[in-house]
Amino acid sequence: MKKHWRGLLASLIGIIVTIAIMIPAMSWMTANVKSARVVHNSRMQPVILIPGSSATQERFNTLISDLNKQTTGHSLLKITVKTNGSLTYSGSIARNDNEPYIVVAFENNKDGYPNIKKQAAWFNIAFNQLRKTYSFNRFRGIGHSNGGLIYTLFLEKYYKADDVTISRLMTIGTPYNLAESNSDNKTQMLTDMINDRKALPTGLTVYSIAGTENLDGDGTVPIESVEAGKYIFQNQVKHYTQITVSGDDAAHSDLPQNQQIVQLISQYMVSTPNQQGVQGITRAPSGPGVGPRN
Amino acid sequence: MKNYIQLQLTPRIISWSVRWRRLRIYRVLAETAAVIFPFILLGSIIQAINTSMFMPQGFFSQVYHLSTVIPFYTQIRDLLILLEAVTINMMGPVTAFLAAKFMAHTYQKDETLAGVTSTLSFFAFNLNFGTGPRDTFLMQNFGYRGIFLAFLLGITIGYAFRLVKRTEMPTFKNSDLADRMTASLHHVLLINAILVISLLISYGVSYFNSAGLIGLFYSFLRIPLASVSSHISVRLALVTLINAILWWAGIEGPLNVNTAFQQGESPTITQNLNYALEHNDLFNVPNPVTMNTTYYPFANFGGVGMMLALIIATLIVAKRPSTRNIAKLSLLPSLVNVPGPMLVGLPVILNPLLLIPFILTPLVNQSIAWATIRLHIMPPVVYSVPSSTPGPLMAFLGTNGNWVALIVSLICLAVSTLIYIPFVKLSTRVTAEVLEEEEKA
């Protein structure tokens, strides 16, 4: 009987010791892996820009040279996706540049929901190719006009959070309800996007910028259509911020050159504007390639 | 089949083992081991405490942040390192002394003189011939690493003393002090010859290897494994096999948990880690089967040859209180993968009965790990853990908390224990027979 008790006591102590080791060990390991991930991830984090309809890969040249004027600058890579899915490149990413700008434009840059869907698929092709080449696992996104719609579709349909993380998305004058100014009349596109919103990454911070040239909007997109973004993002992503810009250069197509928006981008979308050892572009771009100056 | 094992094989194994145990060399080994065991045990316990609690990379010091909890942390560590240095890291010269002493004793020769000569010869073999500021001796060879050659040296020198006549020491009563002094001089020629030969060999070796004869010996063991077989699983199994045989013989094998973790990260670990950190996915890492994913987390509990399983098996089936005591004393260091006490105490070293399970268990465990990784049941271990992590937790932590890995680890432990049990039983029977015969004699 005495021996029986001793055995029981020994196994009880054994279990307690095991738990006392396992639980702190497990939390220590988890913290270790988490911090290792942070260190590992702190390398390249490109800012990927998508222009709106009718715009080419040159759409953001002025914006980026404006951004680089204020800082030591980052390099710029421009990609156009052909209708057959092949890619053409111009410009390049400077060595050591941890936060390059990458513009992805489309040969078929027409407006309309069917085209936008196609453009989202093309963007996915370019995106996967970029990941393969530069093996980054974090990026930030900027979409002008329909570019924001392409981003939204891409995040809902193609994006896989296990492989890569988008931490911030800025849409500039993006018509979430197309040309519709009454938010009660939801277009097919908006309805689809709202239905798929659960696929949006929950850790994402979204800035939606609206331009207001007059009281109705930026002259092209009604302000209500930009505001309709809240039906998609609000209560799904981590933060959803809507910013309204007015004054000079607040017309729809001028928005990427608007000095206030340039400020917002360098403030919110570029984490290391003055990276050491990277020679970006500071002059006004001329001709097709806006690569680093070396 | 069962009949064959019971009626034919078992008695034969037992009679072989009995004969092996009565060999002169094995008796010398056992006597030597018995003397150094307390020092090995003490040194191993200190080593276990030191590596797990007082080294910055130790398991407990990491998990419980011991450096901020324990007062006088660095002072305690310094003392522990010194204690290790004078126990386990000094066993080479001691082994040389004891082996020569007991060998000479079996021939009824001057045992103490043989022992002293052997120790001095061991020192001569480990002189540091390098230039520049340096230690007089190659201290790294004085620990477990040098024990095998120290033993061989002791045996040889003990045997050499067989060639000379034993001096009859004059008794105190009827002799002058000078008589006693000159009596020792009978061996002056032999002693000098041994020391000169040792020095010459040692000096010659220093041209080939700066780490002395022992360094030269270990450099032969570095087999170019890439050329052995192109198939990775075969290669891994081969290394594990050779490693087990070497450790069994008392030689430090190529797979050593402490040095492996000190040498830092191999390219395969880095590749796996980068992939895992980037994709948050352990299953598809580029190198799923390596020593670091199959051997260390699954086949090295308690140190080489799954010592933890042997200890458990001993505690389950062994009856003799002394054997059980050795297992109990070895349990604590083996929890942080220090195998010394069990290797020397049971002993496992050069014990023919335990050779089979000693080789078999790591191979079986490695196969289990290999199969579960290949079948995608369990992810490979990717994240590095301290070398002093308790064996069964290594895979669980190294996969960042994969429960399947923990279950596979426990299965490995159970299987290894089951493999060891029949051999521990056999060993009990052999001991009984040896004792019986000795009683008859």
Distance (Å) of CA A116 to CA A54, A151, A166, B224: 12, 10, 20, 59
CB atoms within 10 A of CB A294: 8
CA distance A29 to A40: 16
Helix (H, G, I), strand (E, B) or coil at A111: coil
* B369 and B300 housed in the same domain: yes
Peptide bond preceding B38: is omega within 30 degrees of 0, i.e. cis?
no
Beta-carbon contacts of residue A272 (< 8 Å; ≥ 6 apart): A98, A99
* B33 and B67 housed in the same domain: yes
pTM for the whole thing? 0.69
| pLDDT band for position A27 (cuts 50, 70, 90) | very high
* B248 and B335 housed in the same domain: yes
Does residue A162 surpass a pLDDT of 60?
yes
Does residue B171 surpass a pLDDT of 70?
no
Reported residue count of chain B is 441
Does residue B103 surpass a pLDDT of 80?
yes
* B249 and B317 housed in the same domain: yes
DSSP A221: S
Min Cα distance A236 → chain B (Å) is 23
Q: Which chain A residues contact residue B274 at CB under 8 A? A: 40
* B72 and B214 housed in the same domain: yes
Does residue B52 lie in a domain region?
yes
* B111 and B138 housed in the same domain: yes
Beta-carbon contacts of residue B119 (< 8 Å; ≥ 6 apart): B93, B94, B96, B97, B100
Domain termination site, one of B193, B219, B245: B219
* B201 and B253 housed in the same domain: no
Q: Which helix H or strand E contains A265, and what residues bound it?
A: helix A259-268
Q: What is the CATH number of domain A46-268?
A: 3.40.50.1820
Does residue B334 lie in a domain region?
yes
Does residue B2 lie in a domain region?
no
CA distance B73 to A82: 65
* B116 and B238 housed in the same domain: no
* B47 and B113 housed in the same domain: yes
A177-227 pLDDT, tens digit each: 988 888 888 999 999 999 999 999 998 999 999 988 887 888 888 999 999
Compute the 3-state secondary structure of chain A and give helix, strand, coil in percent, each to the nearest 5: 40, 20, 40
Judge: A28–B62 Cβ closer than 8 Å, yes or no. Answer: yes
ipTM of this complex prediction, to 2 decimal places: 0.79
How much is the CA Rg of chain B, to the nearest whole Å? Answer: 24
Residue % of chain B over a pLDDT of 90: 47
Nearest to A290 by CA among A74, A145, A123, A49: A74
Query: Which residue in the set A29, A30, A163 is minimally distant from B279, CB to CB?
Result: A163
| pLDDT band for position A284 (cuts 50, 70, 90) | very low
Letter for the amino acid at B343?
L
Does residue B306 lie in a domain region?
yes
* B245 and B282 housed in the same domain: yes
Beta-carbon contacts of residue B420 (< 8 Å; ≥ 6 apart): B306, B309, B310, B312, B313, B314, B357, B361
Does residue B4 lie in a domain region?
no
* B59 and B196 housed in the same domain: yes
What domain count does chain B have?
A: 2
Min Cα distance A206 → chain B (Å) is 23
Does residue B132 lie in a domain region?
yes
Domain termination site, one of B188, B219, B250: B219
B45-80 pLDDT, tens digit each: 999 999 999 988 889 998 999 888 889 999 999 999
Residues of A with CB under 8 A from a CB of B: 21-22, 24-26, 28-30, 32-33, 36-37, 40-41, 135, 137, 162-163
Position of tokens 């370019």? A126
Beta-carbon contacts of residue A46 (< 8 Å; ≥ 6 apart): A93, A99, A100, A101, A102, A130, A134, A136, A139, A140
Q: Which chain B residues contact residue A26 at CB under 8 A? A: 396-397, 401
Domain of B267 in residue numbering reads as: 223-440
Does residue B131 lie in a domain region?
yes
Does residue B65 lie in a domain region?
yes
Domain termination site, one of B169, B185, B219: B219
* B209 and B228 housed in the same domain: no
- Residue A103 bridge partners (DSSP): A49, A78
Min Cα distance B246 → chain A (Å) is 33
